[in-house]
Amino acid sequence: MARALRRGLYRQHDRPSGHSGAQGNVRRLSGDPMNIFTRYQREVCRVLEDMVKAGELPAGLDMTRVKVEPPREAAHGDMATNAAMVLAKPAGKNPRQLGETLTQKLKSIQSVAEASVAGPGFVNFRLVNTEWASVVLDILKCGAAYGDSAMGAHEKVNIEYVSANPTGPMHAGHIRGAVIGDALAALLEKAGYDVTREYYFNDAGTQVDVLARTTHLRYREALGEDIGAIPEGLYPGEYMKDVGQALAARDGKKWLGKDEGEWLAPIREFAVGVMMAEIRKDLALIGITHETFSNEREIVEGGTLEKVFKTLTDMDLIYQGTLPPPKGKEMEDWEPAELTLFRSSRFGDSSDRPLKKRDGTWAYIMPDIAYHYDKIRRGYKWMINVLGKDHGNYLDKMRPAVSALSGGGAKIDVIFCAMVKVLKNGVPVKFSKRSGNIITLREMVEEVGAGAVRFFMLSRTPDSELEFDFAKVVEQSKDNPVFYVQYAHARCHSVFRNAKEMWPDADFSVEALLKADMKRLDSEEELKLVRLMAGWPRHVEAAAEAHEPHRVTFYLHDLAAAFHAFWNKGRDDATLRFLIEKDKDLSFARLALVKAVATVIASGLAVMGVEPVEEMHG
RNA sequence: GCGCCCUUAGCUCAACUGGAUAGAGCAGCCGCCUUCUAAGCGGCAGGUUGCAGGUUCGAUUCCUGCAGGGCGCGCCA
């Protein structure tokens, strides 16, 4: 979905106002001084505005496209701005010339060591080393909060994920969406949004009736009856035995020999309660706790559907009409009929949609629309839904309704997750609900651990298929990204363990490290690490804006790689070791750096919901 | 038939929302352990970013068309 946003159809009206620079002439500022790139973007814009004042540039230039970024090639410098290229045309200037002028002005900034024009008009510049050293100090001061952004401005966001029907335990098919939703929630919180984690369960459809009937059967079994095989159409899983037994324990023989009409509703309520409790327990195993649980029955029984219908009617968006038959698809039983239609085509839908079936009862999408109306009423500007890819056109159906019911004020985004292929020793595990052959979340967590499960689920973009191979997930090698990142973190701590042996009486607290002489960090390897870490706040913002938590995984892999590389440099070149007994000052500067690396890795893992490991031994 | 998604190295995937010479890992080849964890690192090789156009200073990224793969499709749940 994020890609769909990127490609554009809804891009303009689907961005929260303020992010697109609508209010000012500066692109989008996090307002966060921790982000060194944001700081220099401001510097560049300030310089440009001075040039406007001095008459060197015309007034009224659009500076929203001026960016300051790390260049792809580190050799190009520390930072690069596209200002000259972007402004050349509107200013009626040659980009290289404009770049030259900008270069001269940037050079006069104290913290800028060097600046030059390159390529089609990029202005590259380098910062003095002390400026980079300040990044390490920022990280140490902020701790896990390093990378937090004010971008979200406390805007309320609702993330709905998992939302599995309460008819069985959490299994492999649920986990990906669960983890992605949960990490997205943490990511958006880090980016300054006010996030609610929500679970919506369907307790009003036919599936929960099936659950109730299955429960009743298992209940009879629990009371000693021979029920034989589970009939077609009921849930065959063994887990239902427990539900039957729990009911027998609570109600005794109360429901034996009664009509379904008498027991269906109460047993349904009981079974749903049991299943939801189980689901919550399962989710807790991978650290997922929703703040809000909403259910369809309350929406339906609370009259929300009628309310939505009235609202849409009052807006003159409801009419009686006949839809043309679906194009191209064979429909033998097609008969045109006058239906109650919602003018969704006014909101970008391909055609209007029926809200009532021809028999006058509500159409399937109505409860979902009503549920979103409920979210809008609760004040959410952003509603994000994490769904399986098979829910293909959910967004097409829901977006017009959300748009209409919120007066355009609320936006909905859906993240579609592709399947997870589970492998054991390289062999795909087939699972079918029918035979009850499923891999449960509990099983996965018990076998490989919660952290590894979460990390793997975040190791690819959501819409690409993912292979989850039990053997690979627990493999202790660099080929396993979980291990690789954790190992880097553990190595950081290992350095401190060694430092304590080297200087048993020294103080290694953050306060002490803050006093280290950061000017000593001047090797290319050290600065590479610092630059990478300086980019963490940018990555947080970019990932949050794109609703793509997996980017955190890639970032951590890069950071871990740079750290492992530096570590190994110390093997070839003794002057690059972290701990040098006769140079305590340098060692402490490097310890500050190492502490910063551990802090950023931990900060990223926190977004992913993975516990950092401090020690690993074979 | 219509809609959405995907197509990047032999394989699995990136590319910071339009930037400079498209990057990692695996597989292959060559190196590095009397030294902070070699559970690691360095190097070599590997590409017409599915094809054809377009937009502009500049396209893997945006637009159009085509080809191939996946998913979804009505007033069902």
pLDDT digits (tens, 9 = 90+) for A451-500: 999 999 999 889 888 888 888 888 888 888 889 999 999 999 999 999 99
For residue A534, what pLDDT is reported?
92
**Cβ atoms A102, A46 nearer than 8 A:** no
* Residue A24 scores a pLDDT above 50: no
Q: Residue A392: which pLDDT band, with cuts at 50, 70 and 90?
A: confident
For residue A18, what pLDDT is reported?
31
**Strand B-contacting residues in A 472-501, CB cut-off 7 angstroms:** 476-479, 483-484, 487, 490-491, 494-495, 497-498
Q: Residue A536: which pLDDT band, with cuts at 50, 70 and 90?
A: very high
Who wins on pLDDT, A218 or A61? A218
Q: Can you tell me the mean pLDDT for A314-326? A: 88
Please report which residue ranges of A252-352 form alpha helices under DSSP H: 260-285, 296-301, 304-314
Task: Say which range, A346-355, A430-439, A606-615, has the weakest mean pLDDT.
Answer: A430-439
CA A171 – CA A388 distance, rounded (Å)? 14
Who wins on pLDDT, A172 or A258? A258
Tokens found for residue A277: 């409790």
Is the C-beta atom of A94 closer than 7 angstroms to strand B? Answer: no
Q: Which residue, among A185, A103, A302, A183, has the nearest Cα to A553 in the 3D structure?
A: A183
Q: Find residue A199's DSSP bridge partners.
A: A293
Tokens found for residue A347: 């909101």
Span CA (A564) to C1' (B58), Å: 36
CA A516 – CA A526 distance, rounded (Å)? 15
Measuring from the CA of residue A205 to each C1', which nucleotide is nearest? B77
* Residue A264 scores a pLDDT above 90: yes
Q: Residue A435: which pLDDT band, with cuts at 50, 70 and 90?
A: low
CA A14 – CA A151 distance, rounded (Å)? 16
Q: Which residue, among A559, A527, A491, A432, has the nearest Cα to A135 in the 3D structure?
A: A527
Give pairs for A264-270: CB < 8 Å, separation 24+: A264/A209, A264/A212, A264/A213, A265/A212, A267/A212, A267/A215, A267/A216, A267/A219, A268/A203, A268/A208, A268/A209, A268/A211, A268/A212, A268/A215, A270/A215
**Strand B-contacting residues in A 32-91, CB cut-off 7 angstroms:** 67, 69-73, 75-77, 80, 82, 85-86, 89
Q: What is the DSSP string of A361-418?
A: SBPTHHHHHHHHHHHHHTT-SEEEEEEEGGGTTHHHHHHHHHHHHTTT--EEEEEEEP
**Cβ atoms A454, A461 nearer than 8 A:** no
> Quick count: other Cβ atoms within 10 Å of Cβ A368?
18
Top CATH class, A481-608: mainly alpha
**Cβ atoms A299, A367 nearer than 8 A:** yes
Q: Which residues of A463-472 are buried (b: 16+ CB within 10 A; e: fewer)?
A: eeebebbbeb
For residue A328, what pLDDT is reported?
58
**Cβ atoms A483, A555 nearer than 8 A:** no
**Cβ atoms A113, A126 nearer than 8 A:** yes
Segments of chain A assigned to CATH 1.10.730.10: 481-608
Task: Say which range, A8-22, A40-54, A240-254, has the weakest mean pLDDT.
Answer: A8-22
| Integer Rg of chain A from CA | 29
Q: Residue A436: which pLDDT band, with cuts at 50, 70 and 90?
A: low
CA A115 – CA A377 distance, rounded (Å)? 52
> Quick count: other Cβ atoms within 10 Å of Cβ A446?
11
* Residue A16 scores a pLDDT above 60: no
User: Tokens 């209409």, residue?
Assistant: A404
Distance (Å) of CA A598 to CA A143, A147, A173, A463, A487: 10, 14, 33, 31, 11
What would the pLDDT profile of A504-516 be if each residue is shown by its tens digit? 999 999 999 999 9
Tokens found for residue A282: 């399962």
Span CA (A418) to C1' (B51), Å: 27
Is the C-beta atom of A331 closer than 7 angstroms to strand B? Answer: yes
* Residue A549 scores a pLDDT above 60: yes
CA A193 – CA A427 distance, rounded (Å)? 42
CA A548 – CA A184 distance, rounded (Å)? 7
Task: Say which range, A172-186, A331-345, A464-478, has the weakest mean pLDDT.
Answer: A331-345
Q: Can you tell me the mean pLDDT for A118-147? A: 91
Is the C-beta atom of A334 closer than 7 angstroms to strand B? Answer: yes
- If you average pLDDT over every residue of chain A, what do you get? 88
Is the C-beta atom of A93 closer than 7 angstroms to strand B? Answer: no
Q: Can you tell me the mean pLDDT for A58-72? A: 86
Q: Residue A187: which pLDDT band, with cuts at 50, 70 and 90?
A: very high
Segments of chain A assigned to CATH 3.30.1360.70: 2-127
**Strand B-contacting residues in A 397-456, CB cut-off 7 angstroms:** none
* Residue A11 scores a pLDDT above 60: no
CA A145 – CA A147 distance, rounded (Å)? 6
Is the C-beta atom of A325 closer than 7 angstroms to strand B? Answer: yes
What would the pLDDT profile of A191-216 be if each residue is shown by its tens digit? 999 999 999 999 998 899 999 999 99
The architecture CATH gives domain A2-127: 2-Layer Sandwich (3.30)
Span CA (A241) to C1' (B71), Å: 35
Instruction: Name the pairing type of β-strands A194-201 and A156-160.
Output: parallel
